[in-house]
């Protein structure tokens, strides 16, 4: 069980280290999470290869990630940063689905659960096949979640959903801006299909 804690979604652009930065990127990111007392964060565009985990002792976070294979260009990647004090009470470890999807199940009160999904969707310039593959994987994930579990999607969907709340009633909240692009149509259609609502952009 968990007391109240803050959730965050953050596109970190990369967690790969470079020679010009004295401190590891993970340390810098997790110290920032600690500064704002974030309990769990869904990180996107991590650009780390493989599926693995680490404990960042200095900041007090455990980090799990899922990326491309070692021999592939690392242009995506997702993960979860979890405060170590919360990590000890996890129902199960985060599950890597792909370099764009990772899930984490939390036990809540009254025999309920919440499934957090960390996402990084293909950009607008990606081939349509990549986008179709992403949303098909997404459908498999959502279909495998018990109907009474609460679903929270977090991450970077690389979309513009616009502000046409009338056409997308119950799907688009009051935070949409600008005009919708084709990636936005993918996301809104997916949310409509599964009874989900875009709460923040």
Asked whether residue 190 is domain-assigned, the answer is no
Q: What is the CATH number of the domain that holds 104?
A: 3.60.10.10
Asked whether residue 189 is domain-assigned, the answer is no
Asked whether residue 168 is domain-assigned, the answer is no
Residue 1, pLDDT > 60, answer no
Asked whether residue 57 is domain-assigned, the answer is yes
Confidence band for 70, pLDDT divided at 50, 70 and 90: confident
- Sequence-ordered list of residues with C-beta below 8 angstroms from that of 15, at least 6 positions apart, any chain: 25, 26, 29, 43, 46, 47, 48, 65, 77
- Sequence-ordered list of residues with C-beta below 8 angstroms from that of 101, at least 6 positions apart, any chain: 66, 78, 117, 118, 119, 134, 137, 138, 141
Into how many domains does the chain fold?
1
- Sequence-ordered list of residues with C-beta below 8 angstroms from that of 21, at least 6 positions apart, any chain: 28
Asked which of 1-5, 109-113, 184-188 is least confident by mean pLDDT, the reply is: 1-5
- Show the domain range for 140: 6-158
5 vs 16, 39, 87, 120, 189, CA distance in Å? 28, 5, 12, 23, 31
Rounded Cα–Cα distance for residues 151 and 108 (Å)? 12
Rounded Cα–Cα distance for residues 3 and 28 (Å)? 26
Asked whether residue 75 is domain-assigned, the answer is yes
- Picking from 105, 101, 80, 94, the residue whose alpha carbon sits closest to that of residue 29 is 80
End-to-end CA distance of the chain: 29
pLDDT in tens, 147-196: 889 999 999 999 999 999 999 999 999 888 788 999 999 999 999 999 99
Asked whether residue 171 is domain-assigned, the answer is no
**pTM for the whole structure:** 0.91
At residue 18, the pLDDT reads 61
Mapping DSSP to helix (H, G, I), strand (E, B) and coil, where does residue 194 land? helix
């Amino acid at each position: 069980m968990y007391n109240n804690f803050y959730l965050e979604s953050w596109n970190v652009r990369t967690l790969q280290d470079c020679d010009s930065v004295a401190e590891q990127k993970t340390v810098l990111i997790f110290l920032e999470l600690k500064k704002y007392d974030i309990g769990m964060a869904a990180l996107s565009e991590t650009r780390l290869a493989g599926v693995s985990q680490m404990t960042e002792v200095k900041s007090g976070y455990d980090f799990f990630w899922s990326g491309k294979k070692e021999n592939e260009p690392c242009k995506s990647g997702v993960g979860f940063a979890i405060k170590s004090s919360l990590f000890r009470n996890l129902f199960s470890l985060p599950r890597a689905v792909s370099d764009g999807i990772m899930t984490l199940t939390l036990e809540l009160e009254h025999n309920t659960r919440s499934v957090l999904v960390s996402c990084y969707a293909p950009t607008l310039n990606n081939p349509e096949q990549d986008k179709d593959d992403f949303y098909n994987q997404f459908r498999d994930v959502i279909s495998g979640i018990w109907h009474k579990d609460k679903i929270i999607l977090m991450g970077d969907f690389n979309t513009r959903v616009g502000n046409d709340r009338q056409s997308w009633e119950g799907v688009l909240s009051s935070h949409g801006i600008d005009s919708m692009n084709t990636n936005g149509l993918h996301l809104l259609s997916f949310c409509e299909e599964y009874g989900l609502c875009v709460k923040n952009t």
